[in-house]
Amino acid sequence: MKKIILIVLIGFVIYKQFFSLEEVVSSENKFKIELPFKPNIKTDVNNLPNIGRLKITSYEMRKDELFCSVSVTDYLDNNDPMGEIEDTIRPTKRHLTKGFGGKISSEDYIFSGAVKGYEINLLAKNNKLVKSRTFIYENHVYSLLCSFSKAQTTDVDTIMQSFSFI
């Protein structure tokens, strides 16, 4: 029995060493999430004809077969929300299937606190899994995306569940 407890304890320590999460907090973009590594942060402002200026801030991390990102889009020329969550579903499906290939395995409405979102799971043509979540909060659109191997499913679920608004 002592050997089993020791093996479980060693396994837990090794797991924590290779998959410990770091909390990323963005007070400007009003969210927090736990990621395995500190993300690279990039901000671009695009001026789109007939739409206006969009500020897109991406928080991206990649290691081996795991890629995760949080992209926050802010409509700079208007303080109104950029539509409803339903307005994002079809374009997100189209971009996921075009970008990753494969087919959608599940989709449904989800919530982060009281904020309604939409989750899409995809089996990509390279046998990778893709999980996407989209939320509209105040005048920001939040897009969470992870591409991963089947062995990382639990880890990605933990990352996605850690996302919350502040």
The arithmetic mean of pLDDT across residues 157-166, rounded, is: 97
Whether residue 7 lies inside any domain: the answer is no
Using CA atoms, how far residue 27 sits from 30, 49, 111, in Å, is 5, 30, 20
Structure tokens at 60: 């991206």
What is the pLDDT, as a whole number, of residue 80? 73
pTM: 0.84
pLDDT at 14 over 80: no
Whether residue 129 lies inside any domain: the answer is yes
Q: What is the pLDDT of residues 42-99, one digit of tens each?
A: 999 999 898 889 999 999 999 889 999 999 999 888 777 778 999 999 999 999 999 9
Q: In CATH, what number is assigned to the domain containing residue 124?
A: 3.40.1000.10
Average pLDDT over the chain, rounded to an integer:
89
Range of 37's domain? Answer: 21-165
What is the pLDDT, as a whole number, of residue 78? 78
Whether residue 76 lies inside any domain: the answer is yes
Whether residue 33 lies inside any domain: the answer is yes
101 sits in which H/E element: none
Whether residue 143 lies inside any domain: the answer is yes
Beta strands in 49-139 (DSSP E): 52-63, 66-75, 103-112, 115-123, 129-137
Count: domains in the chain: 1
**CA 27, CA 118: separation in Å to the nearest integer?**
23
The arithmetic mean of pLDDT across residues 112-136, rounded, is: 96
